[in-house]
Amino acid sequence: MKRKKTVRCGLIGCGFSASFHFHSLSKVSGVDVEVVGVYSRNTQAAEKFARDRDIRAFARMEDLIDAVEVVHVCTPPVTHAPFSIEALRRDKFVICEKPLTGYFGDDRPDFHGDRFPKQAALDAALAQVERILEAESASRGRLLYAENWVYAPSIQKECEILEKTQGQILWIHGEEAHSGSHSEEYAFWKFCGGGVLIGKGCHPLTAALYLKRVEGRSRLGRPIRPVAVSARTHAITRLPSFQDLGHIRCDYHDIDDFSMIHVEFDDGMIATVFASDIVLGGVHNWLEVCANNHRSICNINPNTAMMTYNAKEEYFRDIYTVEKIGTKQGWTCTSPDEDWMTGYPQEMEAFYRTIAYGEPLESDSRLAAEAVSTIYSAYVSAEKGGQAVPVRTFD
């Protein structure tokens, strides 16, 4: 039996994503993961996060990086590139949350996401991607892209189907939607690099890009890549005609809250992806694959693994049912293990097996780069009223 290795890691950031990273690390079985500590610019929050989990709060990011082998970047997207590059420069493995990077404005106090040419965003985002890839190439570490949809059980089952049946994907159709993000920073382009197209659309899009890679490797001996994208984006809740009844988040400063993109691949096949912040009733995460020999519907959330009927709201007051549901009364698609369905523990298990034992990495820096390139090309397309725009890929 192979002896388990011990790997020391640290978290940069102490918010929502850092919390579920920490929780998922406790479920890794093939590697002994030692969480050494956390760093955040918010010192008080970092100290509380550390106390609650019996780890160390570091005063300097550099000291945290030097104390570990793996760095989890769990901060707003504006910091992903500099933090990842710093860790790679010190020869560390980096697990970076989505999106890999982007365009976050020109540092002017009056920067507004509606008022700049989107080609400038695409050019800047691709330049950031290049810097990250160059840092990784020069490092003894690697960048592991924390896209949980890749590792969701339903997506991995579809991966198996494609590999074993040599199926050809004709059309992928996916969506991520709910009633608004947890994050205050999400309201501003300058922190998150865009709105719902990048913040939510990255999930089903990256899963689609991944499955076309799997199909290509299996059937053709090479990944199938995106070549063009067309898109439309909207800011529904910022329209004067929107009527706010208090159920949908509507305090966005300069971002889109609805998007739809159409991706064309180098084999002529297609994917359509919707992302939205205007949908009630909980998170809606799903991907449908229409192939020449099968059809799969991957219901990540909600799914019917469990259904509960609750006669009164108060009965379930202390019971978690499912993310972002508006009410617990009546019928609910209660998730018995939401993290498992969305792929978080499987993602961390796979990452640490790559780090410790060199096992193949499915969600890598190239997949992350391809997602960023497609998304910002989509923003250019939306600015042009839906005109198709070429997508740059990375070898």
pLDDT score at 1 = 53
pLDDT score at 109 = 87
pLDDT score at 281 = 92
Q: Residues 265-298: pLDDT tens digits?
A: 999 999 999 999 999 999 999 999 999 999 999 9
Q: Which domains are assigned to the chain?
A: 6-146 (3.40.50.720), 148-390 (3.30.360.10)
Share of the chain above pLDDT 90, in %: 95
Average pLDDT over residues 361-374: 98
Q: What is the mean pLDDT of the chain?
A: 96
Average pLDDT over residues 182-202: 94
Q: Residues 216-251: pLDDT tens digits?
A: 999 999 999 999 999 999 999 999 999 999 999 999
Q: Residues 330-347: pLDDT tens digits?
A: 999 999 999 999 999 999
pLDDT band at 183 (very low <50, low <70, confident <90, very high): confident
Average pLDDT over residues 210-214: 98
Q: What residues contact residue 171 under an 8 Å CB cut-off, 6+ apart?
A: 269, 270, 271, 272, 290
Q: Residues 1-17: pLDDT tens digits?
A: 568 999 999 999 999 99
Average pLDDT over residues 134-154: 98
Average pLDDT over residues 45-58: 98
Average pLDDT over residues 110-139: 97
pLDDT score at 194 = 97
